[in-house]
Amino acid sequence: MTIPVGIDKIGVYPGSLALSLDRLCEARGQDAKAFRDKMLTVERSLNPIWEDPVTMAVNAADAMLTPEDRASIELLIVGTESGVDQEKPITTWVQRYLGLGANCRNFEVKHACYSGTAGFQMAVSWIASGLAGEAKALVIATDQSRMHLGKPHEFVTGAGAAAVLVSRRPRMLEIELGRSGYWTTEVWDLARPTLTVESGDTELSLLTYIDALEAAYAHYQKRCGEPVDFGTHFLRNVYHAPFGGMTLFAHKTMVQSQLGLAGAEARAHWERRTLPSLRNVRRMGSTYGSSTFIGLLTLLADDEELRAGDRVGIFSYGSGACAEFYSGLVGPEARATARAADLPGLLDRRQQVSVAEYEAIERRRTELVENGNYEPERTSPAGAFEAAYAGRKRLVLEGLSDHVRRYGWS
């Protein structure tokens, strides 16, 4: 008998600070309306220097986990391209500060923006094998961009983390086991060769994304073992979103090759099938490996047409490159569970920063990221720590001593 497995809950941490892209466009002499229309991004999330990928990972999961969840988690995977140590995995801190049991297999995964999906598929396979028994898995994608002041890709940077609880009683989305297509190639499109550098060939990355999408979908069709009509097989589609406009490019590619649609018809198809997943992603900027999970959460919370059993197609891409196209069926408590995450509320509660404050934070983080001895100042932006952290039980970075990182609850 096949064991049902999939997503029970998703928790998202969008950071505590936000920068308006209109403000950034004005400061850089860019047309804000043209930017919004093309990139479909209106804000970006930003971390103060007392947060990092570890704190984001913990803060994404902590609020959604019950005592029963914590006791049942026996596999913990964190996907990131923003690791804070070349040897010690983020998962060890996450296991400690989430209060998970000691009998918990845990490790960190790296493959650019694909890492979260890689970890997720590992967790799904483990539970589906039957070897997990009643145990659950927790998969977290956590990332923040490096400093890109004045560079063209500055406008699509961001930060965020998504925590996904995987179980054999999925309330949000049941994964269709075996219905997954994947594709890989070696390409130097984007890279982080040091802790301060994030660089690459943006055009090559976008073209490789499209190649990967078409190839992964072709493999998905093959593995389904039956004809798959893109127009009717899926009710909705979620795509990896380095910026919102990339999903339009991706979906137009699919409907042109699969359905022969172009122009206004292709856009209308995207507006129906994918646009409902973008409301929150548009307010966070690039969220790297967590973007597909954030898009899925948004879709399940907002789309009134979705019903239990409806099929959603999901595409994940990671530079370097690897991609996966898979599908799932909407769970019986999807909408209520997704809305309980209150992502719009978390986004609304972020403190807005000026361009000058944003630049100061990015410069200070770059100064400190390779420094093994410092205590993050809590004075900039003014009032941010008191407003969003003091007494609110969020994990924060307290400092480093000879590269040993110290964390604590606010």
Active site amino acids: 81, 113, 240
Token pair for 154: 């500055």
C-alpha angle with apex 310: 252 to 345, nearest 5 degrees?
Answer: 80
Over 69-108, what HEC string results?
HHHHEEEEEEECCCCCCCCCCHHHHHHHHCCCCCCCEEEE
Residues with Cβ within 8 Å of 404's Cβ and at least 6 positions away in sequence, in order, are none
Q: How far is CA 129 from CA 2, 3, 172, in A?
A: 9, 8, 20
Residues with Cβ within 8 Å of 385's Cβ and at least 6 positions away in sequence, in order, are 48, 50, 378, 379, 410
Q: Is 251 left (phi over 0), alpha (psi -120 to 50) or beta?
A: alpha
Reported for 376-379, long-range contacts at CB under 8 A and 24+ positions apart, including other chains, are: 376/48, 376/49, 376/50, 377/49, 378/48, 378/50
CB count in 10 Å sphere of residue 180: 21
CB count in 10 Å sphere of residue 115: 27
Query: Which of 119, 139, 113, 338 lies closest to 241 in space, CA to CA?
Result: 113
Token pair for 96: 């400690």
311 DSSP β-pair partners: 329
- Report the distance separating Cα 135 and Cα 75, nearest Å: 8
Radius of gyration of the chain (CA): 20
3-state SS class at 307: coil
> Is there a contact between 146 and 197 (Cβ–Cβ < 8 Å)?
yes
**53-62 vs 90-97: helix crossing angle, rounded to 10:** 40
182 DSSP β-pair partners: 324
Letter string b/e over residues 102-113, b meaning 16 or more CB atoms within 10 A of that residue's CB: eebebebbbbbb
